[in-house]
Structure 1
Amino acid sequence: MSRCSARLAPLFFLVPAFLGGCVDMPRPFGDPGREAQRLALNTPPPRLAIPTPGESLLDNKAAALWAKDMTEGLLSQSVPAVAQSVKPGDWWLNMIATLQGDQVVPRFVVMTPKGEARGHQDAPPIPASLWNQGDPQMLSQLSAQEAPQIANVLTGIQAAMMQQDPQSLKRRPARVYFQGVDGAPGDGNVALARAFATSFPDENDHFQQTAKGADYIVHAVVKISDGPKGLMGHPQQHIEIVWHTLAADGKEAGAATQLHDIDAHSLDKAWGDVAVAAADEAAGGVRQIITNYSGRDHKPLPPEPKG
């Protein structure tokens, strides 16, 4: 069985629930589920207002277009931005353009509901002669260029808030409920479950015995299907093992998937070290999903300097 386990392990990949397959999932100001409910008084609402900038050195039409383009850029980064005036309780993005000689420097400042600057991003200088034209293509390119940087600022702000809260996953291990394995032939359900239960827990992720109060729920599903006939009378089967990881609100945080072709019916009885190898790698994948989804490894952004 060791020959098969060595071939199963490399065929492993993560399928996060968001961002079209990107493993690193910044979720600034998104909805982190139950954790957001615990920290409702301290965390930003699930949107970022982007009002038409009043200090943009642009006419009203171009300024409104800049706000619209930046909203679209941040939406592409999975930031729930809204081009609208600031309402009570909103975090918002203050877009400013300052003249420095014959250059204009755009600055993006993340503002708290109290009107305090919490983080900023400066764009490279743009010739004033070009900026003053309010060219739509220039504004669109600027917004697309700066949106990922602003998303990183928001991620750092969220990480700083997590760092301050003892109930966030930056300050305590994740509580994980493992529902087991279904669909495997032979002793696969039991063997995979036992191996995963041994491999998964570490200082950052702990198992608990019930789903109540869990931060994440993990459930694995195995599917076997007929493959090619193979050579010299050795038919093949396809095996797929998907380790689904659900957040506390029921949304899928991600899925760790293992795929391979095996000798037909070679796993109909004992899985042996195939289960150990598959579960060990899956444990690492599930830990990565939890880390990415929770943002617990994101670097906190320091406060803005005063004055």
Structure 2
Amino acid sequence: MHAPLFEAVPNFSEGKDNAKISRITEAVRAIPGVRILSLHSDPDHNRSVLTFAGEEDPVLSGALALAKACATELDLASQSGEHPRMGVLDVLPFVPLEGATMDDAVRLAHKASESLGFLGFPVYLYGSAATNPHRRSLPDIRRGGYEGVASRISDPLWKPDYGPKTLDSHRGVVAVGARPFLVAFNAYLDTDDVEVARVVATRVRESGGGLPAVRALGFGVGGKAQVSMNLTDLEQTPIPVALEAVRSAAADLGASVESTELVGLAPLEAVLQAARYYLGLRELEADHVLESRLYGRSDPRRL
């Protein structure tokens, strides 16, 4: 029996300096047993999303190596970008993969948080790892970015779970969580009016009365208005349903979707959901995909 596998999807606050991004990434790659799956860097958001996987101990070591590299390479006090941020290592979620349960991911999140605390990072736990109901949602923790956290940290309700109880303006804080798969999906509109993207985001996100399990914000990226979404439960709202909601809301404002973007990775089921929706393939499953039948489960070429 194989040891349980985990995915880590850290977001760190650098998307412009390729040399720094490379050094931070290489610190993780150097850990034996870690497999880097994806790196997505966005200069407008000034943010990178790294995805890596492995067994518990290598993933934990990779996360700590990443944190040390971020503390060495980055300075939050001089960082700016479209995306809200509160730390050089901003978010560190753990996702249970084959053989692992959500409880396993929660334990890993607590282990990582304790070690990050010893390294000098204030840590807030979120998602399934949250220790307080009012801190379960990541947007609630990140509200107002670093400045918002700084204004709340002296409140006993917002005392960090691990690490220092005061802020270092150069490294900030980190949110560590345990969660299921999340798909980060962006839609670019055929306008440069950021206000249009913000209105669309408000209409489609759950907190605005829109779709369940959808978080959304509007940004200006590369001269285009962008609706940036996190789809937190694909059973409730798959990618095509979210996209059609954006299209409808944008059309009401005289805009349309010009292109879309996947940030990081998505599970095969997310792609199959899109194919079923747009092609009308009611019975499409993974076994209908050639590579899934051609290669065995242990073959990395299998989807």
Fold match by TM threshold 0.5:
no
Larger proportion of helix: 2
User: Max radius of gyration: which structure?
Assistant: 1
With a CA cutoff of 8 Å and minimum separation of 6, indicate the structure with the bigger relative contact order: 1
TM-score calculated relative to the size of structure 1: 0.21
TM-score calculated relative to the size of structure 2: 0.21
